[in-house]
Amino acid sequence: FDIDETLLSNLPYYAQHGYRLELFDHREFDRWVETGEAPAIPSSLRLYREVRDLGFKTFLLTGRTEAHEAVTVDNLRRQGFHHWDKLILRAAADREKTATDYKSEKRKEMEAEGYKILGNSGDQWSDLLGYSMSARSFKLPNPMYYIP
């Protein structure tokens, strides 16, 4: 699972900033992330729980930086996401990579560890495409932004 706009919604942030009528400010968005107030997307929470209940391993692969690990873990848990098997955040060495390359490399690492990726859920095509793709992909709509 991706996190932003897949498991957690940043719609409150975008509502405060004119639904993207303002120029995107990464520092301002980071301040929002650091509040840890992103609500769960209810349908994704249900899917997450069903996947866990079926016994599948769950990996969370996000473009959030490692600096936001503690607040991300707290936010996820307070919104009802528990017991994931691995949380993968973007390291400093990955910052210059495109989202597609970064996420593809991380999926390839999962496969090298012996995992088979059966499903993948994200709001951006960069969450789903590239290499080491899943058997099934689930693209959520996102009218707020596009990440190549």
**pLDDT digits 0-9 by tens, 68-118:** 999 999 999 999 999 999 999 999 999 999 999 999 999 999 999 999 999
Residues with Cβ within 8 Å of 125's Cβ and at least 6 positions away in sequence, in order, are 100, 139
Q: What distance in Å separates the CA atoms of residue 44 and residue 129, rounded to the nearest whole number?
A: 20
Q: What distance in Å separates the CA atoms of residue 59 and residue 55, rounded to the nearest whole number?
A: 13
124 found inside a domain: yes
Put simply, whether the predicted model's pTM sits higher than 0.85 gets the answer yes
Q: Are 49 and 23 in contact (CB under 8 A)?
A: no
**pLDDT digits 0-9 by tens, 16-62:** 999 988 888 999 999 999 999 999 999 999 999 999 999 999 999 99
Q: For residue 73, give its domain range.
A: 10-139
Domain count across the chain: 1
103 found inside a domain: yes
100 found inside a domain: yes
144 found inside a domain: no
148 found inside a domain: no
Q: Which helix (H) or strand (E) holds 122?
A: strand 119-122
99 found inside a domain: yes
79 found inside a domain: yes
CA nearest to 8, candidates 67, 90, 63? 63
* CATH assignment of the domain containing 14: 3.40.50.1000
60 found inside a domain: yes
